[in-house]
Structure 1
């Protein structure tokens, strides 16, 4: 057969070269079809391999780690007692007409209207913010797992009943729903904020898990387990739930970010812990509105902390979702 006028390529030339290469390597007929066995890589290991090269994820992870460490070791890091007025700052307030002491040596951010060190209150307030957002996320995750498992595993009227309740909750904006739940409490406290945020985000987890479990219901390994006579409980908890919970865990990292903002909003509106001896960023932001016109830094510092922490959780959650989602892998 004549050569191609353009590139001199002949049909079957590549196949012939491949055969010649195999012959030169000494391969035998028994080696045909064999492939080199390599250890498999789990989904988590594969995701981590991509995440550790993702700058966005590393930035979010760094912010989150710093926030968690500051919250855990807040009493040791805070330079002063956040609940007690500093005598020298109180004296300065009395000598001047300025009700808010500004920054000075030993007090880099100044003090609040009661002479308490603002930096110490921000550091200790991170602990209250962490407690609220973590417990709210955990409670909403557990509630969503229960409802989503019931709806996705049982189906029928159970699925219809659970999903109608979830649809009603989803029809109300999350912050408005949390505000309504917190407002029904006889006395506002930190736990009313936690419960309110948990109820607001519970339907998100329930619907997400239910959708994942419905997709798993008709998968090959579930059908095979049914054909072998495996009981429904074993199929749900050993096959369907473990393979459906991944997207829910990723969603939890995103809920952490919104929980920080919602907790601050509820505390800002006066529905959080009224005792300012336990500082919290949203509570501090609400107290600062009285002096916002003349002393905007009182509101700037807690607002900046809220924004940075929520931003860190968001970066980490979005990167984690992309790493675990097969459709978005590069």
Structure 2
């Protein structure tokens, strides 16, 4: 027997079989060092482990994000405070409790005293109670305006994304015209048309301003869904177009729109405060709202700035909370920003 044949059969020699055995042992050692549970039996083998959904993956990043946690804490505190504000308020926000202490010459604004930690306004109404109850009105305006704007945007965005041709062109040109006008100016113009300003005219004006934002975003998401494999497969199987749009395209396009709603809610609160400050909100000051309180405080801004400071800082903190939470959600759900 020749040496060449002996090396080929004997694993302990330097032949091809011996070299392959030593390579496999080396690979097993490296795999064990890297934390593998056993030797590598087959090149390219993948462990059969369960996958992680997009929501679960996003939540893993969000719960470690201090920015999201701060925004979530502010948002939850604001919502809970708005719900229980009627029970937390120490006095009736519309009752003139300290009016006998109001003197236009010497004491136009009563200061803090027992039972009134923040003092009162120019009519002797408890400032703390008005701030607490005003949070509920601010939440109602912001949430209702965002929901109405989201509903209108869903209708226009779905029509534009599902149909091409003249339907898409007409809707997008209307959206472009609305987006070309500054949002606050457009909301001001819509509110000024109403014969009598009220809380509902404020909600409608802000909702109309938000509609094109949702419509354009949803249209873009639905256009991206039109070329997906599951949509093409449904078309090949002869599924009706309405079923494809409502069951396949629309549900998979709502993620960015819902995230945008949290950011729009912060904008809606600021716009509502601005319109109320200009006198286009609810004229009945027995139901206080933070923007309305800012408008009434401008008369005493130099001598008693705290009347404007308290509602202003409340608006800033709440808007900041929704913004931090919305930005964190958008980054967590965006595949390009994952680390």
Give the superposed CA RMSD.
2.3
Q: Which has the larger radius of gyration?
A: 2
Counterpart residue number, 2:6? none
Q: How far, CA to CA, are the matches of 1:148 and 1:112 in structure 2? A: 46
Name structure 2 gaps, 5 residues minimum: 1-21
1:120-153, Cα deviation, whole Å (9 max, x unpaired): 0000000000000000000000110110000001
TM-score by length of 1: 0.91
Q: How far, CA to CA, are the matches of 1:191 and 1:253 in structure 2? A: 21
Secondary structure of 1:234 counterpart: helix
Deviation at 1:62, TM superposition (A): 0.6
Secondary structure of 2:238 counterpart: coil
Segment of structure 1 superposing worse, 106-115 or 226-235? 226-235
Q: How far, CA to CA, are the matches of 1:84 and 1:253 in structure 2? A: 35
- Once the two structures are superposed, the pairs formed by residues 1-330 of structure 1 within 5 Å of their partners are 17-18=26-27, 25=38, 34-86=45-97, 89-94=98-103, 97-330=106-339
Deviation at 1:37, TM superposition (A): 2.1
Counterpart residue number, 2:13? none
Counterpart residue number, 2:14? none
Segment of structure 1 superposing worse, 43-52 or 262-271? 43-52
Deviation at 1:36, TM superposition (A): 2.5
Name structure 1 gaps, 5 residues minimum: 1-12
**Does structure 1 retain, via aligned residues, the 8 Å contact 2:93–2:133?**
yes
TM-score by length of 2: 0.88
Q: How far, CA to CA, are the matches of 2:321 and 2:40 in structure 1? A: 55
Deviation at 1:33, TM superposition (A): 5.7
Deviation at 1:166, TM superposition (A): 0.4
Deviation at 1:93, TM superposition (A): 2.4
Counterpart residue number, 2:7? none
Counterpart residue number, 2:10? none
